[in-house]
Amino acid sequence: MPRIRIPIYQPDLSGNEREYVLECLDSSWISSKGHFIQEFEAGFARFTGMPHAISVCNGTVALHLALLALGIGPGDEVIVPSLTYIASVNAIRYVGATPVFCDSLPNTWQMDPADVEQRITPRTRAIMAVHLYGGACEMSRLAALCARYGLKLVEDCAEAIGTRLNGRHVGTFGDVATFSFFGNKTITTGEGGMVVCNDSALDSMLRRLRGQGLAANREYWHDIIGYNYRMTNICAAIGFAQLERIDTILKRKTRLATSYRRAMTGTPMVFQHASPGESSSHWMITMLAPNASSRDLIRERLANAGIETRPTFPLVHHMPMYQDISLQLPIAEDISRRGMNLPSWHALGDEAVEEIATIVKAST
């Protein structure tokens, strides 16, 4: 394999990240206490428009805490798309609940609300809406299902920092929502995550679960089983600096998404469509090839030119831990076989987009 010249993602740490991290080191506030934690949480709450934001050490544990705080456990079913990153599904298993996989929509690639409704049983407790690749699920339809059937609504917004529906940030439509700040997410803290909610009792429960189940007003007394899922002040310092520049990052990504679409005109490649009212954050700019073998050929040619791409997610219900050979999810399967994520970091230049388009044109 030739050296990677154009990676799929690259964080931009060119703002106040260094200064804030050095402040942590100089002041010795390097662990999970320190003012950047509160500032990052408050800034993120402001950015999303949710009153409560609880920082955690990654996006996977954010999902674990969200499900625990809602009281979801053994015997409960949670409906989740099979076309997602593994963390969405693993978190359901961590609390002892059962993931029930649903199909996706052909144009937006988000979970299909009509298929979700078909899969509701007396044991269903929650729907986990995963906003894929910077797009948004159809939240009004999913929220209506939750209201009608008395279900909790969890939003996995790991891939949707900055994504809005009719002006409202995703993560504000359900009971609780989670975010990830892994190195390839729209803003990063290295490893990190956030849980947001609009209920103060849920906020206290999430904070207690994050901090070893510590009881209020009594030292070293723990009255529930909790976890150490805290974020460090160093990570929060990086996140706070990233948040200062998020609008610029999102603006440049919108421009990049437009450049890719323009450059691929005349090819058979198909890009992700927006849900009604959606303003995408374009986390991973993604397109479908006409068929699986053409997707694989294009990826191989790009790799030979030192350009990194990724396949759309393999379906979770095909993986050994969750395998269900009787389950047919034809739309999700088609997207999974034909799709590829393109280099999507915000500072990627137009020359790179042109080069990628030239290789795609020669391969289709």
Ligand X SMILES: *Cc1c(COP(=O)(O)O)cnc(C)c1O
Which residues are known catalytic residues? 185
Confirm or reject binding of residue 59 to ligand X (CB under 6 A).
yes
Confirm or reject binding of residue 227 to ligand X (CB under 6 A). no
User: Rounded to a whole number, what is the distance in angstroms from the first to the last CA of the chain?
Assistant: 22
Do residues 63 and 91 make contact, with C-beta atoms less than 8 angstroms apart?
yes
**Residue 249 in the binding site for ligand X (CB under 6 A):** no
Which CB sits closer to ligand X, 57 or 353? 57
The residue within the footprint of ligand X, chosen from 77, 103, 155, 156 (CB under 6 A), is: 156
Check binding of 189 to ligand X (CB under 6 A).
no
DSSP3 helix / strand / coil % (the chain, rounded to 5): 40, 15, 40
- Sign, CA torsion 302/107/329/94: positive
Q: Which is nearer to ligand X, 87 or 256 (CB)?
A: 87
* Out of 6, 128, 145, 158, the residue judged to bind ligand X by CB under 6 A: 158
Helix (H/G/I), strand (E/B), else coil: 232? coil
Query: Pick from 50, 87, 139, 161: which binds ligand X (CB under 6 A)?
Result: 87
**Of 58-66, 256-264, 270-278, 340-348, which part binds ligand X (CB under 6 A)?**
58-66
Phi and psi angles of residue 214, each rounded to the nearest 5 degrees, phi first: -65, 130
Specify the stretch interacting with ligand X by CB under 6 A; choose among 79-87, 219-227, 228-236, 355-363: 79-87
What the block records as the tokens of 149 is: 């059937």
Is residue 180 within the footprint of ligand X (CB under 6 A)?
yes
Q: Which amino acid type is present at position 179?
A: F
Q: Which stretch binds ligand X (CB under 6 A): 154-162, 218-226, 228-236, 333-341?
A: 154-162
d(CA 175, CA 77): 17
Contact stretch for ligand X (CB under 6 A) within 8-16, 52-60, 204-212, 228-236: 52-60
The Cα–Cα gap between 4 and 47 comes to: 34
81 touches ligand X by CB under 6 A: no
**20 vs 283 by CB, closer to ligand X:** 283
- The alpha carbon dihedral of 232, 235, 238, 242 has a sign of negative
Minimum distance, C-beta of residue 27 to ligand X, in the bound complex (Å): 27
Position 103 contacts ligand X (CB under 6 A): no
Element (H, E) at 251: helix 246-263
**Closest approach of Cβ 187 to ligand X, in Å?**
12
What DSSP designation does 175 have? S
Residue 114, both tokens: 């009509």
- Rule CB under 6 A: is residue 182 a binding residue for ligand X? yes
Q: CB nearest ligand X: which residue?
A: 59
* Residue 193 near ligand X by CB under 6 A: yes
The pair of three-digit structure tokens given for residue 115, joined into one six-digit string: 């298929």
User: Does residue 159 bind ligand X (CB under 6 A)?
Assistant: yes
Strand-by-strand arrangement of the 339-341 sheet: 270-271, 286-288, 339-341, 310-311
User: Are the beta carbons of 268 and 290 closer than 8 angstroms?
Assistant: yes
Which residues form the interface with ligand X (CB under 6 A)?
58-60, 84-85, 87-88, 130, 156, 158-159, 180, 182, 193
